[in-house]
A and B are shown apart, each in its own frame.
Chain A
Amino acid sequence: MTTMFSSLRLDTDRLSPSGAAVWGVIALLLLLSFAVQPGLFVDQFIGGLVYGVSLILIALGLSIILGLLGIVNFAHGALFMLGAYFTYQLMSVWGVSFWVALVVAPTLVGLFGVLIERLVLQWLYDETPITGLLATFGVAMMIQEATRATWGGTPLSVQTPTVLTMGADLVVTTVARIRLFSVAVAVVAILGVYLLIERTDFGLSVRAGVLDREMAGFLGIDMPKRFVAMFFLGSFIAGLGGVLRGTAVGMDPMMGQQFIIITFVVVVVGGIGSLFGSVVSGILIGEAVYLTPLILTSLAKVSGVEALAIPGIGGLVPYLVMIVVLMVRPRGLFGQEGFLE
């Protein structure tokens, strides 16, 4: 039960009657909204998926660093944002192709993350979580202001390569290929992290560090080196998420702050310390954000009660999900006992 990915069994066979009722209602509502607006449903479903995987890309790094070092890295959203802005710098200012930026920008972000680790976080390993949270909060603020100073406060965007701007036909609707491409890249990245953590000796030593950093050190594992490597990896993935998001949607200096807060929600809902939990809850929250408004508008259409279609409810949904999940399962969906408590 102690590995990061495989403590993943929800007790589905012992589902309580009330739990079953809740899932039943949700399934019914989804079916209903699909029947009412099939094109929009698929559209929103893919939107939720794209949003969900970018949340996962940030959450993975956050979760690894939290598990390994016990530091709540508030600056992680700023790294995500830097991924997007580096893409802008590479593509729009220096005229590099998207495919090069897709590799170079995350690498730069990874190096930047290592810089932060060396300059700030390495001094905080034995402090309380609050201290780490506060210090990285300051770092995030600095990066945000530096970004504003360098690239300006107005939203920017880059020219997506033509291969990815075309639509892909999905019977009931067409979606831009860049969105499907984002999902594909993210899935590859998530699988890569999974294989690295679960199937390699390096991953084994990292998992040992998560369980007991001190003991792993005694056994001859060079933990500081692992920290730097994992920090590079976490920042790289966040940067990758930034590249994809920046290409598909664009970038602004507030995106880091907005995403880090939702990502915290994802990590907490998934259960702190569980990478699998982050993946599940990322998809869950991404879909909830996009499908809840759709369900409500469908309900409003069917029942004729206009008041049901609350505008902007999508922004609130992650928090409601979190409140409910934490009330029912205090450690999140896949959280382990005694982790950071």
Chain B
Amino acid sequence: MSRADAADDGGLAARLRDADLGALTVPLGIVAIAVLLRPVVSHPLLLGYAQIANSMLIWMLVVASFNILLGYTGLLSFGHAMFLGIGTYSVAIGVAKLDVAFLLAAPLGILLATAIAYLVARMIVQKGEIYFAMLTMAFAKSVHFIANYDPGGLTGGTTGIAGGALPGWIETVRGFKYVVVAGWQLDWYYAIAIVFTVAMLLMWQLVRSPFGRTLVAIRENQKLARAMGIDVRRYKVWAFTFSAAFAALAGVLLEVNDQGATLSALSIPTSGDVILMSVLGGANYFFGPLAGAFVWLFAEDYLTEFHTLALPLSEYPLVTFEVSGLLTYWQFLLGLLFVIAVLVSPREGIWGLLRNGLGSLYGRLRGDAE
């Protein structure tokens, strides 16, 4: 139903629904995720474990930043972890080794990642898609090598940076972190949630701006876009750069959350995980990557904690299976799910299925009501 039709119907509710709520759905969704994630996952029926909500929000941010590339521009990068890692290492080096204030180290780290991304993108963004993927991997591998090589004792080699890497205004009480500034105390989760919300809103603005629409045009048909006078290379370069900046921001959060920097944050398998999460969730949708990251981390935690499968409910077991041995290999199940998702529809993912499923259900219900 188009907007004009709704206005003709005259109903205030219809007008509200079509005009204002449409534009607000995504921002409200972002805020809802940030506010509700921890209470929901820490409910005893789900994970019963509040800390994981922190990691979930951070990884959602990483995967969403990656999806600017894969989902919106159609660029497959195998080196996204490089920017995440530059963010974490910059803060860790700044705080633990050079004694620089966090508030200086973090922006510098993001700036560094952005600058590197810009230069790398200028070099490789016009290569064919397989060449592009390989070259991003090569650059990521080089950054990984440097961190592993431990130049000047800065990056800590294979062990990474662990001690003294927390900024002074973080206090840890019984495993929970709090941001303490001038007598004010804020739960670290909410600090992440605020950054998450702001960054996601920025990304949403980015993808629905003329800039973002141009990226979609490039994804859909690069030759046509060029024929229409779009400077494809420039747009791709900036998409890569923005994506890296948000990844580095997530890296900054990850550093504080994990109290240091680990080499694995920079590694190729991490880049691979990011791709998997993004595609599993649904690269076509803004919320797809968030769904992917959620399912991934949820599955990892839920399945590896699981020891016996009791049916129908653990309180009233009729049948129980000893599954702990099998579920250690949860990545097998995830790989299977992933292959099926790609075969069924490579760009829809979980979010796409959910959306279409709910959409048709809603339509059927309404059809019955009328």
Contacts and interface: CB of A to CB of B under 8 A. Distances in A.
Which of B76, B127, B129, B339 is packed against the most chain A CB atoms within 10 Å?
B339
Contact of A261 (B268, B331, B343): B268
A328 interface: no
A146 interface: yes
Interface in B255-280: 268-269, 272, 275-276, 279
Nearest to A143: B335
Interface stretch (B48-56, B136-144, B354-362): B136-144
A123 B138 contact: no
B129 A141 contact: no
A264 B123 CA distance: 20
B176 interface: no
Query: Would you call the interface of chain B mostly helix, strand, loop, or mixed?
Result: helix
Which of B74, B76, B279, B342 is packed against the most chain A CB atoms within 10 Å?
B342
Interface residues of A, number: 43
A137 B134 contact: no
A322 B339 contact: no
Interface stretch (A1-9, A24-32, A310-318): A310-318
A131 B347 CA distance: 9
B130 interface: yes
A261 B339 CA distance: 20
A72 interface: yes
Contact of A316 (B142, B326, B346): B142
Contacts of B339: 120, 135, 138-139, 142
B331 A134 contact: no
A127 B74 CA distance: 14
A92 to B, nearest CB: 22
B334 A327 contact: no
B127 A319 contact: no
A123 B342 CA distance: 10
A153 B87 CA distance: 31
A139 to B, nearest CB: 6
A137 B137 contact: no
Contact of B343 (A123, A128, A265, A340): A123
Interface string B325-336: 010110110111
Interface string B28-40: 0000000000000
B62 to A, nearest CB: 18
Interface residues of B, number: 39
A130 interface: yes
Given A264-B134, A312-B148, A145 B129 contact: no
B367 interface: no
A249 interface: no
Given A146-B332, A320-B142, A326-B127, 4 more contacts: A130-B74, A141-B334, A272-B130, A326-B124
30 contacts: A72-B130, A120-B339, A124-B343, A127-B346, A130-B129, A131-B346, A135-B342, A135-B343, A135-B346, A137-B275, A138-B335, A139-B335, A141-B332, A141-B335, A142-B332, A142-B336, A144-B331, A148-B329, A149-B332, A261-B268, A264-B134, A265-B134, A265-B138, A268-B130, A272-B130, A312-B148, A319-B142, A320-B142, A340-B130, A341-B128
Interface of A: 72, 120, 123-124, 127-131, 133-135, 137-142, 144-146, 148-149, 257, 261, 264-265, 268, 272, 310-312, 315-316, 319-320, 322-323, 326-327, 330, 340-341
Across the A-B interface, the 6 shortest Cβ-Cβ residue pairs: A141-B335, A145-B332, A319-B138, A138-B338, A142-B335, A138-B339
